[in-house]
Amino acid sequence: MVLLGTKKGSAIIVMSSLLQCKFWLNKHKPWIETSYRGLITENTDEVLLDPPLVALDKDAPVPYAGEICAFRVYGLDAPFEAVVLNRTSGEGQLRAHRPIDCEHQREYTFIIQAHDCGGGPGGTGGKRSHKAVVHVQVGDVNEFSPVFSSLEYSGSVLEGRVYDSILQVQATDEDCSPQYSQICNYQITTEDTPFAIDRNGNIRNTESLSFDTQPHYEISVTAFDCGQKKAKHSATVHIHVKPICKPGWRGWTKRVDYEPGIGSKQLFPKMHLETCEGAVSSVQTTVELQTRHIGKGCDRETYSEKSLQKLCGASSGSTDLLPAPSAAFNWTASLMTDGGRDSDLIYRFDGRQAANIPDWITPQNLTDQFTIATWMKHGPSPGLRGEKETLLCNSDKTEMNRHHYSLYVHNCRLVFLLRRDFTQGDSFRPAEFHWKLEQICDKEWHYYVINVEFPVVALYVDGVTYDPYLVTDDWPIHSSQIDVQLTVGACWQGEVSKARFTQHFRGSLSGLTLRPGKIESQKVISCLQACKEGLDITSLESMDKGIKFHFNPAQSVLVMEGEDLEQVNTALRKVSYINSRQFPTPGTRRIHISTTVQCFGEDVCISIPDIEAIVMVMQPSEPRITITGAEQLNMPASDLALGLLLFRDLHIFSTVTKSDGIVPNTDHRSGVLDEMVHNLDYCDILVLGEELKKGLESLHLPRSALLGKHLDYTNSTTGMSIYGKHSTNVRNTELKSLHTLRTGMSARSFRVSCSELNGRYTSNQFTLQFISSTYCIAALCSSTVTDCSPSVSLMLYYPLLPCSSVVTTPMDPHRAGAIWVVDHSQHCSNTDIVVVVC
């Protein structure tokens, strides 16, 4: 601006003229800071600068020259631009003109320069500031999740050791900043594992591991970055437990399934002994089959006691005092059974039960020789000194309380009492025999046989003989006319004022028999208590000669010994389980194997752990016994004098229940049992309604039907029982031979039922109704019919039925239903006799 003149008015005129000029003088450059630092968050466009972007110009407030029109950014590929927010104040803003990715570039350095607006609207004569350096750092966003370098990791440990680090897993994060790109934590997501992981990914075991318990572990691991972002995909870590070389048996399974009927089955076909390269001089192995929980100590034949005795060749004439309940043997019906009928018939006595044996069953005359046998399971008596517990007692039925003979337990001692009477001698003789054995109170099943050859009494327990530790003498009993009572489970006290049972037994009994006149041999005793299951050796002929082996009598324990390890391994692979019962008791049998190893020059060098396994006997296919035949039998009464075959059309057959239905017993190879080897042990024929009339009616079975078949029967007015193990075909023959003699009823009904394994499997109840065609006799003469001729009196075997009418017209006497007149006037006065065939 030029001042013309000195007068005040003239100066104002000159200034006004200058303001109206089109171009202004631009004397100064804009000013900015020399350097800036900025921060931009990725995926945004605004840059926060420190200090703020502001350009100053000393030409202000002169228009244009004092205003800021632009900021210019200089730099290779700098993705930023600066804009003027206010020309007058010079405020500007730095921003990105394309997306910023921290992972691509974390910071930028470039130049920025401010431009004023120059001398006028066209920007001519504009000035630029100095160049300032701008450093922009890109702020990170936690975009990415951690990613494992591998999704599968594998490591191994030696059993029994705890490691500081088994293996290390590693994850990375693609975020650019340390906060989000670093992995701050690892975590095992699998629950209940014996492992831990640290923040660096090192996995360790928290406890020692066992190869036998679990040889392999699979765990899942995840990772977190420092922003707590979790990995999208977990890593799987496999940790294998390596066994240390521990001596012991290898290649065996803990369970062996046994299907009934397959015979002998190898228990451990791939078994071998690992000695960890130790040189051994000998190996001794004991294999034990534990069956104490099965039946009476193991799987035995459960046919009736009499059937078993016949099969074992025992002397005849024994009396089964604890038979299966039936129509003929009903005194055991009130006793408690234990174990059901899946195996043995067992009676349990809890101190309150007892049974009186009927007089017709009780042997009347025990000679100097007789045998008492029973299965017994018994535990210690309650209290310090328990009461006497009577198994079998023969005492006075009334008036007195004398014990003639008895078998009882007292304080875990077995005592047999035998009181002779004066007719057998009047001297002081042995009367009480005492045995003290562990078996009596060990709560296990044992087979007891007492053989009496007076005055010598021998006790066999499980086939082993024992002498009494104490024998006491006593005087004979005075003879009397008092009847005696034989009792099982207690002793009958026959005093008039308080007749009752006393000295009750607490325990279990089975197969209690009494045989007068004979004693049992060792061979028969062994047969009667023999197990039907046990250990076996397959291909015994191929056994190496260097192997010594020994079975116990029950074949439940096998001891093998050899010097060559491979021969011992081969021998143990041949050890088998066998159950010869047609219908074995299902369930588990435990196998225990213990081993002793000796080394050269040492007594015992290494220790071999015992092993436990089980044999699972599967449920056998159960038979169904069916009796069929004609259910009604009509017969003229005249044919009954010589007897009538009742069951001529009867047939007994067996089927086996399978999963696909019921099939006949015809094919053993396909798993279906052959009918010819299907055995029954008793059949009952029960008279329904009124009992048979003694002297007039009876059931008869020819002895020829029983010869050579180990069979026997009982016969009474209530029916007949045929017992003894034999096939269904033999039973058919027996029952078809059964006939009645002189039946005195016009109608009779009989019920037949059969059973196998002492009642474990029973048949249907087959009912036969017999109807006789009977003569009706009307006596019209004054005398009785018994005065008539023998031809008429023969009919008196049959009841006289009322006739609805009497017709005197002669007709055919051989035609059923005929009515005819017989002239017997020479015997019967006044009139004739009319005979009606009804």
Give the pLDDT confidence score for residue 23 in this predicted structure.
52
Mean pLDDT of 543-558: 89
Sign (positive or negative) of CA dihedral 93, 96, 100, 105 = negative
Mean pLDDT of 768-774: 71
Higher pLDDT, 74 or 308: 74
- CA–CA separation, 394 and 357 (whole Å): 10
In this predicted structure, which of 110-119, 295-304, 345-354, 504-513 has the lowest mean pLDDT?
Answer: 295-304
Mean pLDDT of 789-802: 31
User: Is the separation of the CB atoms in 695 and 600 below 8 Å?
Assistant: no
- CA–CA separation, 108 and 80 (whole Å): 9
For the cut 50, the answer to whether the pLDDT of residue 833 exceeds it is: no
User: Is the separation of the CB atoms in 261 and 584 below 8 Å?
Assistant: no
Mean pLDDT of 321-332: 83
**Residue written as token pair 């790109």:** 181
- CA–CA separation, 642 and 36 (whole Å): 139
For the cut 90, the answer to whether the pLDDT of residue 387 exceeds it is: no
Give the pLDDT confidence score for residue 304 in this predicted structure.
66
- CA–CA separation, 429 and 454 (whole Å): 10
For the cut 80, the answer to whether the pLDDT of residue 426 exceeds it is: no
Higher pLDDT, 345 or 347: 347
Mean pLDDT of 380-404: 82
- Around Cβ 653, how many Cβ atoms within 10 Å? 17
Give the pLDDT confidence score for residue 141 in this predicted structure.
84
Chain center to CA of 791:
73
Mean pLDDT of 24-42: 88
**β-pairing verdict for 35-41 and 48-50:** antiparallel
> What separation in angstroms does the CA of 222 have from each of 273, 443, 455?
43, 58, 88
pTM beyond 0.85: the answer is no
Mean pLDDT of 409-416: 92
For the cut 90, the answer to whether the pLDDT of residue 237 exceeds it is: yes
- CA–CA separation, 532 and 75 (whole Å): 102
**Does the N-terminal peptide bond of residue 636 adopt cis geometry, omega within 30 degrees of 0?**
no
User: Is the separation of the CB atoms in 825 and 832 below 8 Å?
Assistant: yes
Instruction: Residue 656: name the closest of 765, 531, 756, 758 by CA.
Output: 756
Q: 670-679, pLDDT tens digit by residue?
A: 333 344 446 7
Give the pLDDT confidence score for residue 817 in this predicted structure.
36
Give the pLDDT confidence score for residue 259 in this predicted structure.
92
**Residue written as token pair 């705890």:** 162
Give the pLDDT confidence score for residue 661 in this predicted structure.
39
- CA–CA separation, 516 and 519 (whole Å): 8
Give the pLDDT confidence score for residue 146 in this predicted structure.
93
Give the pLDDT confidence score for residue 731 in this predicted structure.
59
Give the pLDDT confidence score for residue 794 in this predicted structure.
24
Mean pLDDT of 224-234: 90
Give the pLDDT confidence score for residue 837 in this predicted structure.
41
Percent of the chain with pLDDT over 70: 78
Mean pLDDT of 700-719: 74
In this predicted structure, which of 59-68, 111-120, 439-448, 781-790 has the lowest mean pLDDT?
Answer: 781-790
- CA–CA separation, 666 and 670 (whole Å): 9
For the cut 90, the answer to whether the pLDDT of residue 316 exceeds it is: no
Q: What angle do CA 119, 120, 121 make, to 5 degrees?
A: 150
Q: 610-637, pLDDT tens digit by residue?
A: 999 999 999 887 778 888 888 887 777 6
For the cut 90, the answer to whether the pLDDT of residue 190 exceeds it is: yes
SS3 83: strand
For the cut 50, the answer to whether the pLDDT of residue 5 exceeds it is: no
- CA–CA separation, 662 and 667 (whole Å): 13
**Does the N-terminal peptide bond of residue 30 adopt cis geometry, omega within 30 degrees of 0?**
no
Give the pLDDT confidence score for residue 800 in this predicted structure.
34
Sign (positive or negative) of CA dihedral 391, 396, 401, 402 = negative
Give the pLDDT confidence score for residue 130 in this predicted structure.
93
Give the pLDDT confidence score for residue 578 in this predicted structure.
93
CA atoms within 13 A on the CB side of 435: 23
Q: What angle do CA 129, 134, 139 make, to 5 degrees?
A: 150
Q: 288-310, pLDDT tens digit by residue?
A: 999 888 877 888 776 666 677 77
Give the pLDDT confidence score for residue 673 in this predicted structure.
39
For the cut 50, the answer to whether the pLDDT of residue 413 exceeds it is: yes
For the cut 80, the answer to whether the pLDDT of residue 704 exceeds it is: no
